[in-house]
Structure formats: C-alpha cells, structure tokens
Structure 1
Amino acid sequence: MALYLLSAFCLMAGLLFFLAGTLGLLRLPDLLTRLHALTKADNLDLGLVILGLVFQTPDQPLRAFKLLLIWLFVLIASATGAHLIAQRALRSKSYQDDR
C-alpha cells in the first residue's frame, strides 16, 4: 500500500512539474529562458513519472531497469537538443537583433 501511495505522489509531482514547464514555455519572454524552463521541468517531471512507474513494478527489476534507461536516454537527447537549439539561436542574426 505504501508503494502505491509513493507512486501516486511521484506521478502527481511529475504532473505538476510538467504543468510548470508548460507555463514557463508560454509565459517567459525569450527563447533561452523558455528553453531553460522547459528542459529543467521536463527532465524532472519525466524522472518523477519514471520513478512512480518503477514503484509500480517492485517485483520486476528488468522492467524497472528499462524504464530508468529510457529516462537516461531522454535526458541525453533533451540536453543535446536544447544545446543545439540555444547554439543556433545565439548564432542567428534575428535573435541578436531582438536583444
């Protein structure tokens, strides 16, 4: 019973961070701050959701390992994507004219 409550707590916290990242994407003024808010919240909310799902499978360590690998690969991909987007934005003339 305690694992299900902990799982529900992690899933709800992940949902709150997802909503916070979405709000940051909609409300923040420029590309770099939006990107920062979105990647930070996205990495944390996915981690909490994965953790909540891991608590749902206490007797299946292979499934839990696969979930954690998914989180690791998404962390790497989102960091790489955010870096490429920010680098491209800083190199573009249109972004530097807005500042």
Structure 2
Amino acid sequence: MHDLTAFQRDVLYVLAGRNEPHGFAIRDELEDYYDKRINTGQLYPSLDRLVEKGLVEKGKRDQRTNAYTLTRRGQREIDARTDWETQQVATLSHDGNDEQRLPEKRHVQHV
C-alpha cells in the first residue's frame, strides 16, 4: 500500500465500508470527506489502478453500472496500514522522549 496515493488509500477505505458500491456512491462519500467536488477523471483511473494491483475487484451491477468490491488482498493491506498507523500513534504518545521525536517549531519573522 506504500505505493498508493492518499486518494487511492481513501478509495480503499470507502470500499471497505460498503457493499459493492458503484462509482458515484464512492465519489459521493469522498466528496463528503474532502468537502469538495471529486472529478470522475480522478476517481475512475484510481479505481482502475486499484483493480490492476489486485486490491479491488470490478464487476457489473447492470448493463451500464460497475460495482466495486475490496479483495481479500485489499482488506489485508488496509489491516496492515491500520496496524502501522496505530503503532506510530502509540509510539509517539507513549514514548518518554516525545519532544525529541517531534520537529522543533520554528518562529519565522516576517519583515
């Protein structure tokens, strides 16, 4: 999953919470999350890339509408990413040297 864009990862998360959504349902959920319009020229190539990588399966809902599902591999990738994120947050919040791990705040004077 490390080679996916953040948008592609978000598409996977949307698919994980839905039962065979079509493209517009995925787009609507992403628009709610991003609070902006999602271009179909961004969504469908991302879905196709996820299909190529074996993370998503593309099927037919009817003659005109595709439906997308997360593959087992896609779910394993989400689980691994979630574990990694949890570990990173836990390490940061429980490490006695938090200040050493966080970047220093720099004050910039504007002239």
Give TM-score, length-normalised by structure 2.
Answer: 0.34
Give TM-score, length-normalised by structure 1.
Answer: 0.37
- State the structure with bigger RCO (CA 8 A, min sep 6), 1 or 2: 1
Q: Answer with 1 or 2: which has the greater Rg.
A: 2
- Is the helix fraction higher in 1 or 2? 1
- Is the strand fraction higher in 1 or 2? 2
